[in-house]
């Protein structure tokens, strides 16, 4: 737009000099042309147009009024400056609201038509012949330019509204995701505490209560219970430290999942309960989150067996296939009606619900099969991403 203005200004000055050279007012007109160009350039630098959608500043309005006034005076002395109105028209329409820009465009168009008619009737630089295009062309060009620019302004305004809505929606989505992340992290911390510290404290309480009952009658058994409680306290301390560091199971620090499950079965075996571990298949490297989830599921299931099932035997079975890994925890306890009571420890809000959450977060699923008097089987399966074949 600025280049078009300077080009039209230069061509208007050349046309004036070629037709009206030698007249007494030539020097004044050339000076006015120069002032007009300098004023336009300085205004574009010192009073730039406002951003789309923003109100024009007072400095910009003063500059626009001054430029239009100088152009009007120049038009009286040199009708060749008529077409410099086009850049002014675009500048005004872009900077001003539509209710102000449209009247401005109409006023500029009227001045252009009047100047052209004056030239056609024999005014300064005129030829005395009336050409209908001098009336139709400015009106048509101004109308089309005004309609196009007003349409573009309205479209830009709608786009700004859409962009604002999009930005607001993204912010709300980000806030929702943050809240969901906080809730998920709280749930994860809850299940971690339940499967480690809470289960260990529950076992210690049971052992210490048993030791208190047997302290006089069976002191050796009572001392063994106390030693077992101390061992559980030591493991809980390790878990607590690991919990503070990175929430990874301490048993998986230097062990594979199979080794950690075998050690868990040995620890869970004791007076009145025998836990066996079976491995079916060759386990390959597992993602840390999958191994941690299966170990925590096993810990939670054995805690339920110990506290609720009244079982004498339990078995941990880890099955490794090419596309999935599954863990089964079976016991010969009293069982329950899985259809009517899906979570025998539902009053505490953990246990089976926490296991299901762990399995789902790992991309797998957890199922429970139980019948009153016939034991319970908890199965967790997690799909594994198949290895990508290497190119020959």
HEC-encoded secondary structure of the chain:
CHHHHHHHHHHHHHHHHHHHCCCCCHHHHHHHHHHHHHHHHHHHHHCCCCCCCCCCCHHHHHHHHHHHHHHHHHHHHCHHHHHHHHHHHHHHHHHCCHHHHHHHHHHHHHHHHHHHHHHHCCCCCCCCCCCCHHHHHHHHHHHHHHHHHHHHHHHHHHHHHHHHHHHHHHHHHHHHHHHHHHHHHHHHHHHHHHHHHHHHHHHHHHHHHHHHHHCCCCHHHHHHHHHHHHHHHHHHHHHHHHHHHCCCCHHHCCCCHHHHHHHHHHHHCECCEEEEEEEECCCCCCCHHHHHHHHHHHHHHHHHHHHHHCCCEEEEEEEECCCEEEEEEEECCCCCCCCCCCCCCHHHCCCHHHHHHHHHHCCCEEEEEECCCCCEEEEEEEECCCCCCCCC
Structural domains of the chain, with CATH:
2-131 (no CATH), 252-385 (3.30.565.10)
pLDDT range class, residue 347, cuts 50, 70, 90:
very low
Using one digit for the tens of pLDDT, what is the confidence trace for 116-153? Answer: 777 666 554 444 556 676 677 777 777 777 787 778 77
State the pTM of this model. 0.43
Q: Which of 28-32, 182-186, 260-264 is the least confident region?
A: 182-186
pLDDT range class, residue 261, cuts 50, 70, 90:
very high
pLDDT range class, residue 328, cuts 50, 70, 90:
very high
Using one digit for the tens of pLDDT, what is the confidence trace for 19-39? Answer: 766 566 778 888 888 888 888
Looking at mean pLDDT, say which of 33-37, 95-99, 340-344, 380-384 comes out highest: 380-384
């Amino acid at each position: 737009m600025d280049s078009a203005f300077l080009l039209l200004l230069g061509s208007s000055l050349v046309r004036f000099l070629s037709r009206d050279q030698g007249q007494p007012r030539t020097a004044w007109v050339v000076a006015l042309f120069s002032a007009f160009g300098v004023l336009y350039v300085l205004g574009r630098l010192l009073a730039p147009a406002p951003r789309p959608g923003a109100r024009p500043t007072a400095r910009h309005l003063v500059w626009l009024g001054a430029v239009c006034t100088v152009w009007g005076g120049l038009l009286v002395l040199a009708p060749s400056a008529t077409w410099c109105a086009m850049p002014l028209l675009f500048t005004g329409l872009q900077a001003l609201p539509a209710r102000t820009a449209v009247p401005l465009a109409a006023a500029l168009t009227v001045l252009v038509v009047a100047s052209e008619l004056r030239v056609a009737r024999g005014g300064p630089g005129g030829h005395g012949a009336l050409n209908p295009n001098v009336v139709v062309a400015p009106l048509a060009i101004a109308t089309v330019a005004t309609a196009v620019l007003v349409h573009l302004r309205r479209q830009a305004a709608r786009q700004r509204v859409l962009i604002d809505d999009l930005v607001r929606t993204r912010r709300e989505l980000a806030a929702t995701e943050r809240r969901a992340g906080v809730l998920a992290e709280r749930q994860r911390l809850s299940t971690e505490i339940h499967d480690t510290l809470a289960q260990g404290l529950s076992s210690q309480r049971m052992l210490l209560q048993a030791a208190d009952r047997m302290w006089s009658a069976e002191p050796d058994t009572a001392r063994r219970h106390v030693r077992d409680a101390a061992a559980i306290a030591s493991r809980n301390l390790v878990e607590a430290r690991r919990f503070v560091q990175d929430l990874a199971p301490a048993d998986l620090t230097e062990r594979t999942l199979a080794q950690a499950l075998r050690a868990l079965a040995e620890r869970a075996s004791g007076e009145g309960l025998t836990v066996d571990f079976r491995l079916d298949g060759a386990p390959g490297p597992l993602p840390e989150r999958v191994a941690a989830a299966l170990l925590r599921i096993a810990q939670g299931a054995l805690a339920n067996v110990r506290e609720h099932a009244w079982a004498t035997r339990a078995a941990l079975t880890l099955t490794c296939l090419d596309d999935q890994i599954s863990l089964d925890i079976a016991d010969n306890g009293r069982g329950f009606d899985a259809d009517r009571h899906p979570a025998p420890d539902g009053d505490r809000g953990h246990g089976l619900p926490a296991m299901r959450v762990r399995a789902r977060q790992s991309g797998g699923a957890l199922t429970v099969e139980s019948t009153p008097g016939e034991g319970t089987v908890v199965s967790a399966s997690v799909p594994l991403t198949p290895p990508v074949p290497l190119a020959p």
